[in-house]
Every structure is written in C-alpha cells, then in structure tokens.
Amino acid sequence: MSRTIWMNGAFMAEDQAQVPIFDRGLLFADAVYEGLGVLDGQVVDFAYHMARLKRSLSELKMDEPMDEAEWKTMLAELIARNDVQEGFIYLHITRGVHDRDYLYPEGLKPNMFAFTQPQHGGGADEAPEALKLGTAPDIRWARRDIKTTNLLGQVLAKVAARDAGADEALMIDPEGYVTEGGAVSFFMVKDGVLYARPLLGELLPGVTRASMLRVADELGLEIREDRYQLESVFEADEAFVTGASSYVQPVSHVDDRQIGDGSAGPVTLKLREAYLAAVRSGFTSD
C-alpha cells in the first residue's frame, strides 16, 4: 500500500512526489531536516523539534516557510492519513532550486516534504532490545549542531558498524573521546551517576536527549556532562542510547566488549519508563 506523503503544501501518493535535479538539497546537501517520533498517534516532543528546526534554518540563513501551528496541523493530518500509531516522521526542507553554483540568489522558494515510516525494532510497550555498538572515527563536518542532510559521515560509520556485526555506530573524535552514535545520542552510567558528553557545538542537540536529561534531573539522578574516552565506556556499569524512534535503549556491547552484565541496567530501565510516562502524560512539550 502506497504511503501518503506531504510535499510543498499538498498531500499525495509517494510515487507522485518529484524533486528537481537542480535542487540545492540534492546538489549540495543545502537542506535541513527533522526526525520526529510518533507515539499513540501523537508527535513526541513537538515544541523541541520546532525549536531545533528554527535554529537549523537560522544557522543556514533560510527563512521559516511555515509557522508552528501550520506544521502541527500538517503533521497531524499526515499521521491520520497513514494511520500511524507508533513510528517516525521525516521532514525535509531544502533551500530551493537554482542552476548548480556554490553561490545562490536570495529569495529561492524552498522545497519541502514529509513522510512517515513504521516503528523499526521494539516498540514503546515491548522490552527494549540491548544493542551492540561498533566504534568508528567521527569524520563529520564541524557544524554537527545544525541538523543538515549532510549525513555521509554517519552513513560510513553505520555501514562499518554493520559490517563488524554491530547494530549501531559509536563515533570517536580525533582526540579519542566518544561523541555520539550514528543516529542516536550516547550515555553511560557508573556508580549511579549518569554521564553525557556536553554539546558545545560538537554534537547534534538530540531532542530525546534533552527530554531524557530533564527526566533524569526530575528523578534526582546525578548528571555529569563531560568528555570521556572509550576506556571509560568499557568500565561503565550501564550504557544506553536515545533517539526519536528508539526512546531509551540499552547497550550490551561496544566493540565486542560487554558493558556491565550485558543486559538493560536498572538506571536505563528507570529512565526509559519515566521518559515514556512523561511523553504519554499529555505530551506536555507541545
């Protein structure tokens, strides 16, 4: 069954959507995107996603093509048309179309589209599967804080992890410090303390990351944001990742080294339960 997608203000079958070959998003990755989770038929952390989208557009000096109310209405209809109860929405905005040139004229009309995907892996109401991570060098461009479509560094890291028998990549910067996963934020727990690498413009400001840290603070957990190397991960009691479609998901191994006892730890499970409860209690971040 064909999905209904949204493109430039209209809903249509996915096979009807077209992008011009001179679109700057295609030629230069001159585009931004958002990946939004859907749970119980609702967008998760809508306000956080809109704030990040606005920032990405601003950093690339792109105008906001729609306001929050318009985005919210469109996303709700997209969810309804595809009957999504739990899954993922991909939203993409390019600078627009112009003959290939590094420079661009002002006033280009952006191309926009959005589509849904079903939930991959375990859902919110299932026991979370522990992931195996494989390390890879972090070769991404320096402006990782902007959510652009320039994702080849993540693609190469995730392919290398897959080829090594892992489920996801864990990227390591040139100084040997852990940054984040290919498509997730990474955390570890040692002696009851939650460790997270600070953003500092070096990481993507993950929406689920921010929500989870807020939940952890409300639970009274001690949180330390600092850089740490891979050896510290090997010595951790627990590790987990966060993402729009993975929520809070435990990590069992990194480079074939078992983390803790290899299962979802108590802090990880407590955070997952509290995060999902917060999301479902009225979706307060709207």
Residue 232: CB atoms within 10 A of its CB come to 15
Burial class (CB in 10 A: 0-12, 13-18, 19+), 149: middle
Q: What is the spatial distance between Cα 234 and Cα 213, in angstroms, rounded to a whole number?
A: 22
Catalytic residue among 54, 61, 147, 158: 147
Question: Catalytic residue at 132?
Answer: no
Among 52, 34, 47, 33, smallest CA distance to 283 is for 47
Q: What is the spatial distance between Cα 147 and Cα 94, in angstroms, rounded to a whole number?
A: 12
CA distances from 282 to 38, 132, 177 (A): 14, 33, 38
Among 236, 235, 228, 113, smallest CA distance to 179 is for 228
Helix, strand, coil percent values for the chain (each to nearest 5) = 30, 30, 40
| Residues designated catalytic | 147
